Amino acid sequence: MDKISFYVVKLLSDKSVYYPETVILKDVEIRPPQSDFKQELKLLEESIKNFNKHINLDFHCRIGTIVKASSEEEAEILADSKFVKVLDILSLNFPISNLSILNIGYIKKLDTGDIKPILDKTPIEGAQAFVLKDYIYFSYQKIEQWLIKQTNELAIRLQRSLYWSRKAEWEKEIQNKILFNWFSIEALFKQREDDNICPIIKWFLGFPTREKAILISKDILSKLNSSSLYKKWKKKIYKIIEEIRKFRNDSVHNGFRNIDKDINELYLYNHVLSLARSRCQKAVLKALLSGVFSLDEFKEYMPVIFEEMEDLVNDIIHTVLFSLEHRRYSYIKTSYYY
């Protein structure tokens, strides 16, 4: 069957993100509710009625794209793959929001004008982020616009990492959260099957490896080493990360279960990975914006990237180490540290 053009539109979850004006990210648009034509609004209402849901359309942005497909079903699948990539990118700047899509929407055949409501599936809970008309927002938007268009190795790694971290963000089962967080960091840094990413995780938690620490500013190292917490956790952190790596391998290869591990250890593992994941992603984004486009280059310039991380010493001592020392990683509280 010949492929034809379809325009696929769905609602973003009201626990997602709300833009006051239309935003274009590559070939996907996100637009506010007031942009609907009367026919489109009617179709959305039909789709909502089919789901038997109570939805206030004033709080859901629309997300849409044009795809070429041989059927409405194929068009929806292709559109969803584009939508997911956009939401992965947006998760960089809206970490407290559950960036997800409802299957409520409509599909239009562009060659004939035929348009139908989408029927089926249900939304996921979360917390919506309202985007204000602010110069800070527009700077974020420029980064998102730029990142989604990048096809270099490091950008693709970051995009894959964001996919796994978004899954970790809203996963309820603690073992899966740990695995998804680990996969997110592996997506950034793993090149070969036998690669050990533990040293890089240690770096961006604030503990550079001994052989490359000599490349770090003596002033930064002096400030870190003046903290009793830093000295204490320097001895612990690598052991914890290695335990997490073993837990990951046991879970994936040997059918390890979360009940085989003390629950407090699992909370600690998840918290360490949440802290590490966000900082590793920020480091990769900083590298990309500085013109570093491959993982080999990233590793070469890692000391420079590390030094230029925002509020570095304060973040390591007063966020990373403070939260670990004072056990701020109960299962309920972990989301505050992503």
* Model confidence pLDDT, tens digit, residues 70-127: 889 889 988 988 898 899 888 888 876 778 889 899 999 999 999 999 986 444 455 5
pLDDT reading at 255 higher than 90: no
CB-hemisphere CA count at 13 Å for 291?
Answer: 0
Q: From residue 118, how far is each of 52, 61, 109, 280 by CA, in Å? A: 13, 16, 13, 39
Residue 14 pLDDT = 87
On the question of pLDDT at 219 being above 50, the answer is yes
Res 334 pLDDT > 50 = no
What is the pLDDT of the chain when averaged over all its residues?
A: 87
CA–CA separation, 40 and 180 (whole Å): 37
Span 8-23, average pLDDT: 92
Question: Using H for helix, E for strand and C for coil, what is the string for the chain?
Answer: CCCEEEEEEEEECCCCEECCCCEEECCEEEECHHHCCHHHHHHHHHHHHHHCCCCCHHHCCEEEEEEEECCHHHHHHHHHHHHHHHHHHHCCCCCCCCCCEEEEEEEEECCCCCEEEECCCCCCCCCCEECCCCHHHHHHHHHHHHHHHCCCHHHHHHHHHHHHHHHHHHCCCHHHHHHHHHHHHHHHHCCCCCCCCHHHHHHHCCCCCHHHHCCCCHHHHHHHHCCHHHHHHHHHHHHHHHHHHHHHHHHHHHCCCHHHCCHHHHHHHHHHHHHHHHHHHHHHHHHHHCCCCCHHHHHHCHHHHHHCCCCHHHHHHHHHHHHHHCCCCCCCCHHHHC
Average pLDDT of the residues in 244-273: 83
> So what's the pLDDT on residue 165?
94
Q: Residue 106 has what pLDDT?
A: 96
Phi, psi angle pair for 7, to nearest 5°: -105, 115
Share of the chain above pLDDT 70, in %: 87
pLDDT for the residue 256:
66
pLDDT of residue 257: 64
Least confident of 20-29, 51-60, 169-178: 169-178
Which pLDDT does position 52 carry in this prediction?
A: 86
Amino acid residing at 232 = K
List of long-range contacts for 164-172, beta carbons under 8 Å, 24+ apart: 165/91, 165/277, 165/278, 165/281, 165/338, 166/87, 166/88, 166/91, 166/99, 168/274, 168/277, 169/91, 169/95, 169/98, 169/335, 169/338, 170/98, 170/100, 170/124, 170/126
pLDDT on residue 174: 85
Task: Name the residue among 144, 179, 174 with its Cα closest to residue 164.
Answer: 179
Stated pTM of the model: 0.67
